[in-house]
Structure formats: structure tokens, C-alpha cells
Amino acid sequence: MNKTPAQLKAEILKLTREFSALAHGANRAGADNTAPFVAGQTTVPYAARVFNADEVEAAVGATLDFWLTLGPEGAAFEAEFAALLGVKHSLLVNSGSSANLVAFSTLTTHKLPPAKRIVPGDEVITVAAGFPTTVAPIIQGGAVPVFIDNDPTTGNARVEQLEAAFSPGKTKAVMMAHTLGNPFDLGAVLEFCRQHDLWLIEDNCDALGCTYSMPVARATALGFKENSPGIPSNGTHITRFTGAWGDISTQSFYPPHHLTMGEGGAVSIVHRPPLKTYAESFRDWGRDCWCASGKDDTCGKRFQWQLGELPKGYDHKYIYSHLGYNLKPLDPQAAIGRQQLKKLPAFIEARKQNWETLRAGLADLGEFFDFSLPTHATSWAKGGFTWDATGCRTDCSWFGFMLRVKAGAPFSHTDLGRHLDAKKIGNRMLFGGNLLRQPAFVQLKKDRPAALRVVGDMPGADELMHRALFLGTYPGLTPAMLAYELEVIYEFVRSR
């Protein structure tokens, strides 16, 4: 009896799940990780893909359907992700770096009012220590990044420097990341942006699942209406995910991140729907048409437009209003992402627990290390944090566990990183450290001194560059892996 395509597909997917159950045991979360762990022989990565047969089946199923280019799975993911964050729209792109490029480019469109449009020579405030593609789009777009320093305890911006960075008539936006899953001081940054009518781009690539809480009175003064859609309140505080407070936010779905599609990212439009059309245009070759792939004439006047110096009636699908890109991912990637979204709450909780395990386990080494704190926290003790008087709170979905080797310690962060690497424990320094010390930025300053501006010295960013490294908190870490990490660090300290 000949089998139908649906029957064959069902058989293939059944075998796919069986294969994944046998082949991917090491990629399961925490206690479900079935791979044997041998201390000193098995690598403990700082981050890795965490998935099971659900994702593999989804990827194979979407590939069998062979849509390939962004299509129904992509549209479904975009809707589901926007609903999760509580934002108006989310657009999939092929990486977090592309997300930052599209987000920034969106604010350069000629379709914005002149006072709001970012044009070459305008300034955008950012932070010195971090990942380079948070800053690169500013320069690539002809604007001038204005660097402020980092607070080494949180890894985030020293918000008290914002006013010093502001230049009337030139400053148009703030673009910065929530460092390692620790939200920056959104209360202070939003107040600054509202006061000066600036855009806020939240680079949320390392912070999916973090929340920021603000007293109701302060939040409503900033324009967040209590208990309106996507803005929940418990009567005293409004709490939102990071990536849902600014104007535009970005996400990365690269394997080390909170959920993965392999490569991939997203641009989220928080509360101004027209920005979606502009972002989509920059993502999709710069075209003026907003029809989804495979659809035509959703405007009802495909052959009636007259734009630029084109003849009236020129096909709207081939009218280009921007100098854009092609930055879409594939539909099988979106299918994987939809399964990852279902696991995200458990992933977030695992990251919090793994951070707490490392913090409690290293508590006796305060003589040698300075430890991170969430923004607005003033101290840590087993059982929780104490908080500052602002009334704002952060709940961190940690990307990593950062510690800083004290200046007087008998070893450096490089010594520790080298030792951990030799013991097969993955670790990373805080990305590019002080970006102003990186070769690309040193050369830029030589070639075009006016291409960037720096507010004062950068002692915090330099401290992070010289003293900080981070360990993993990802959901695939097992109790045995975490115990081994603690054992190796204690042995290293004792040996010095």
C-alpha cells in the first residue's frame, strides 16, 4: 500500500524524535542532561544550546514542508514573541547584530519628523564596555557615539553621566545593552530620554526574561498607564520585561543566549506601530512595499503608487524607499524558536538558580573577588538582596556570572581564566572590555577624531577590562558541573 505524504512525514518525525533522544542527551536542561560528566575531562561550557526532540522535530518538519524562507513559522514566532514581551510588534532577523543594525537604521528614515530623525553628525549616547555591535551601527549610520562609563558592580551605565553626555540639538538617542542579563537603570534612563525627547534603543540580547519594576507613580509619569495591555501592575509597582520599556529593542538567538535558533535575532517595536514598517523596510532590501513574502497587493493599489521620480503605477513591490539589507532568517529556524519559547520560563529559572549557586558557593572568597549586584541592589546575602531607596527593582535572567579579581589579589583575571580553561571550564571576559581600547576604535579615532566623543575618563570600563570575567549560568549546567567549577576555583585560590 502506497503511503501518503502525511503518513511518510509522520514516520520521519517519529524517527526524528527517536534519533534526538539517543543523540542529544548532552543538550538537555540541567538534571535532564543524560551525558556522563567526568571532572577534568568533560568540558563545562560557559554556554551552549539546550534543546530536546521538540526542536529537532520542528526543524525537520519545517524543512520537509520546504518553505525555507521566512514564512508561516516566522509569522507565528513574531506574534508569539511580541505577546510574550508585551510589545506591539517583533520582526525576526538573522542575528542580534543585524537586529541592532535594523533598529538603529529605523530611526534614520526620512519618514520620521526632521526633529526625530537621526542624520549623519547627530549623537547617540552609549556605554564604553560591552559588545561592539551595540555601537557599530551608530558609526555605520554616520552618527557619533558618545561614550559614558560603566559601573563595574552592575556592568551597566553610570547614569549620573547622562547629562554631561547630552548635547542640545545634536543628541537624538540612547542605545545601550542590559549587561549580562542585568537591566540597566531604566528609571533614570527613561526620565532622561523623556526630558530631552530622545529615542531609547534597548539592546536586550543578553537579557531575555529580565524584568524591571518601577513604582506606579514614577512609571505613569513616564507614560506607562497602569494595567493597560502589556503593562501589569500589582497596585504599587509596574513590572515589564526588559525590551519593553524603550522605543525599540533587540534580541539575539545565537546558541549562548536565552533561547536559540542557531543564528537569529529580533527587533521589537514597543509602542509606536509605524516604526514596524520602517524596520521591515530596512530588513527587506529597503523596499517600500510591506506585503509579506508570498503575498501581493495587500494595500489594494500595487500599481497606483507614484514615489520618487518613478513613473506612476510602477510596481510597488519594486519601489525602494531606503538603502536596506536582506537580513531575514529561515522558516525552519523560526520553527525551532517556537519550541524554545515554550521552554523559556524554565530556562530563566535555571539561570537564576545557577547564578545563586555560584554566588553562595564563592561567598567565602570575598577577600579575592568583587561580585556583581543587580541594578538597584545594595548587597547580597543568602536568601536575597537589599535594595536602594528608589523603589525600583530588577529581577535578573542572568546571561553569566561575573566576578572581578581584586586589585590586590595574588593573581589576575587572565591567570584565573587560563587556569579555568586548562581545567576545561568555559569562561569569558566581558566581551570587548573597554571598546575604546579595541584596535578598531583606536584606528577610528586616528582616522576621524570627530567620529566619536568620550565623557571623561573610563575607570569603570577599564576596571571591567582589567579584572572581570564571567562563568556560565545557562540551563544545561548540571549540579556536578557547578560543584566542579567551585572546587577548581577554591583550589586555584589556595594554590596562590
Catalytic positions, written as ranges? 257
If phi > 0 it is left, if psi is from -120 to 50 it is alpha, else beta; for residue 86 that is left
For the CA atoms of 386, 391, 395, 400, the dihedral, rounded to the nearest 10 degrees, stands at -70
Task: Output the nine-digit C-alpha cell for 88.
Answer: 506591539
Half-sphere exposure of 381 (CA within 13 A, CB side): 2
Instruction: For the beta carbon of residue 364, count every other beta carbon within 10 angstroms.
Output: 10
What kind and span of H or E run contains 405?
A: strand 400-405
Interatomic CA distance for residues 494 and 144, integer angstroms? 47
Q: How far is CA 145 from CA 69, 132, 169, 204, 279, in A?
A: 35, 12, 15, 19, 21
In contact, 192 and 161? CB cutoff 8 Å: no
Task: Output the nine-digit C-alpha cell for 493.
Answer: 585560590
Q: Are strands 393-395 and 211-215 parallel, antiparallel or unpaired?
A: antiparallel
**Cross-strand partners of 176:** 202
To 5 degrees, how large is the angle CA 464–CA 164–CA 387? 55
Query: Helix, strand, coil shares of the chain as percentages rounded to 5?
Result: 40, 20, 40
To 5 degrees, how large is the angle CA 249–CA 254–CA 258? 70
